[in-house]
Structure 1
């Protein structure tokens, strides 16, 4: 596809999404008047797809200069082409970039000297900490569970500027993680595999907000669902919600489809894969593609073939095989024809992003250094806006 065709495709897709994101439309008008980001350069590392483009346009309307890149494997090239025609916006990278090129893309964003960070997975913040050049950073936001874990884990005590963790918001947990990820994961599984959900046995690893949503949406379509979670309280909740609960060992031979949603590395290893029945399907919806031990799977396989885009077959000793979705990446965003979360849920989520970034840009001195939840007054303001939108559509 030529560049002009990519631009045209991206523009058409963004136009449609923009027309259905009423919350961002309102704040875009507010930002155009107040210009909260005037004089600021925002560095972004976030999935680049049409809904993200509407967020980027909203920030640019508020006076921001924005330099960004996508997350590994989920960039949509037509959206990048379109955004790069917009004034004050520069997006780096392509969907086919290997991991080492993605890491160079992140470095290039930091080389542009942003003073506000819009991060997803902690890559930008980790880069700033590694470089030891945090003096010019006003603050930032972090979108996802994995990034929040990273800020409170390996980066604990090392971040001298405020980072509002969007994922800590109960609004995001309910609206985006539970309902949007749940819906998009199930829809993407059906689209990628063309397999029936009804009556099939699914094992969901993790009963946080995302795993909870996946489990509930699967059951709503008639699936038999088991949940694995090492947290006793989450396992207890899953049991009372009516799901089968146990360990990976308990369900390795029972499950037809295994979906990881934990944010943790090595959750699904070859020890479990070797016990699965012939034709079992593996998929991950966690941000970092490490929950399924894909390198170990490749090493143990006696054969590998690409079935279609985003479906890989691994032949195992003993004549069995398993199928891996999207190479172990987020199959609702990295799979073929990725759609991601619903536009209404991302309208809510990106309103959280927009107003949190505005708080960083205009009132950073009121915020403590390091990771922190979305301020309560913002959560409540956004809840009122979302309720008003839902009522007007009723």
Structure 2
């Protein structure tokens, strides 16, 4: 059944009398997206598209958006087009993408072009893949893993991952998508099984949260003392105690990495992998290192959720994409600082307020302290 669009995006587009092709393309995208998503799954991006269709804050600006291309990414593009941007998307390189969605972009008024074309006013980057470009106003970076590539950058770099909003995606969204991916691969029967989570940052916390919801036996391994931070019923093992780590792994069903560090588990598995132990990676980097053959890890060491048609469900990623988009407007400020800087608390409160009022995740936000 087709979901009837709510909110007032169509009305906003009618008010944008100078919108032209960009507004038409944004409207077509909104119509397409409502076939798959209810309005409460992407309230922040819908609100952004509505307000920007009138204000047109990015009118005439050439923007390269390196966000991984999947169906829900189209909602991000919708808002940028509504804002008046001339939008360019590079072919997938650093991160995977959906080739079917990529093929749709030209028909949506979006240019698919290699980043070397240059001449961009700003770059909305992911993992610092295009940090070598020279955009007029600067960059908005989606991930913390991309920050090292901007060392010494003489442009402003708005870092979406420095704010609290990114926790919706990296904590709740990544945890949920790990279990969707495992089920997709035929490993959906997880109750009572032991899951060893390496790393207890934002991604690790989300993995533990969803594992406990599915009544798994959970062990956290981290190089930082976390014994007082893990939830009740979760065991903690320090990564430096290799004997204890190996003892846990001998009884585990699956070990999943969420350290964010390339080769973090090199020493752990130098002596081999226990028979029958499933291995999965949820980070961008190869966290297992050379001691574990690529084929021994599910999805050949790539982030496991990227085997899915939608690696992160719309409701978990849309607020992050809206914040990344908002970084483009922030870059236009005359007092925008050079170098990496975080989103303002005011900007994040505005977006979280929309999600709290109109989003289906409203009841989950208190779990993250909001």
TM value normalised by structure 1: 0.76
1:272 aligns to what SS in structure 2? coil
Higher strand residue share: 1
Please name the residue that 2:288 is paired with. Answer: 292
CA separation of 1:391 and 1:207: change in aligned 2, threshold 3 A: closer
Alpha-carbon distance between aligned partners in 2 of 1:392 and 1:265, rounded to the nearest angstrom: 32
Show structure 1 runs of 5+ residues with no match: 1-10, 93-107, 129-133, 300-311, 315-323
- How many residue pairs align between the two structures? 325
Alpha-carbon distance between aligned partners in 2 of 1:357 and 1:378, rounded to the nearest angstrom: 13
Alpha-carbon distance between aligned partners in 2 of 1:292 and 1:279, rounded to the nearest angstrom: 17
Is 1:115 paired with 2:106?
A: no
Please name the residue that 2:301 is paired with. Answer: 328
1:85 aligns to what SS in structure 2? helix
Alpha-carbon distance between aligned partners in 1 of 2:229 and 2:357, rounded to the nearest angstrom: 31
Please name the residue that 2:6 is paired with. Answer: none
Alpha-carbon distance between aligned partners in 2 of 1:14 and 1:283, rounded to the nearest angstrom: 33
Please name the residue that 1:243 is paired with. Answer: 234
Alpha-carbon distance between aligned partners in 2 of 1:22 and 1:380, rounded to the nearest angstrom: 14
Alpha-carbon distance between aligned partners in 2 of 1:74 and 1:222, rounded to the nearest angstrom: 31
Show structure 2 runs of 5+ residues with no match: 1-30, 364-370
TM value normalised by structure 2: 0.80
Is 1:172 paired with 2:191?
A: no
Whether contact under 8 Å (1:39, 1:63) holds in the other structure is yes
1:259 aligns to what SS in structure 2? strand
1:283 to partner: Cα distance: 0.9
Alpha-carbon distance between aligned partners in 2 of 1:25 and 1:164, rounded to the nearest angstrom: 22
Is 1:58 paired with 2:79?
A: yes
Once the two structures are superposed, residues 193-234 of structure 1 have per-residue CA deviations (whole angstroms, 9 ceiling, x without a partner) of 3342112111111111111000110121011111111123x4
CA separation of 1:21 and 1:327: change in aligned 2, threshold 3 A: same
CA separation of 1:14 and 1:386: change in aligned 2, threshold 3 A: closer
CA separation of 1:254 and 1:271: change in aligned 2, threshold 3 A: same
- 1:1-394 alignment, distance < 5 Å: 15-17=35-37, 20-69=41-90, 70-72=92-94, 74-87=96-109, 89-91=110-112, 108-125=114-131, 127-128=132-133, 134=134, 136-148=135-147, 150-151=148-149, 155-156=150-151, 158-173=152-167, 175-232=168-225, 234-238=226-230, 241-248=232-239, 249=242, 250=245, 251-269=248-266, 271-272=268-269, 274-288=271-285, 290-293=286-289, 295-298=290-293, 312=295, 314=296, 324-333=297-306, 335=307, 337-360=308-331, 362-363=332-333, 365-390=334-359
Please name the residue that 1:318 is paired with. Answer: none
1:346 to partner: Cα distance: 1.8
Alpha-carbon distance between aligned partners in 1 of 2:361 and 2:121, rounded to the nearest angstrom: 38
Once the two structures are superposed, residues 353-372 of structure 1 have per-residue CA deviations (whole angstroms, 9 ceiling, x without a partner) of 22222221x31x22211111
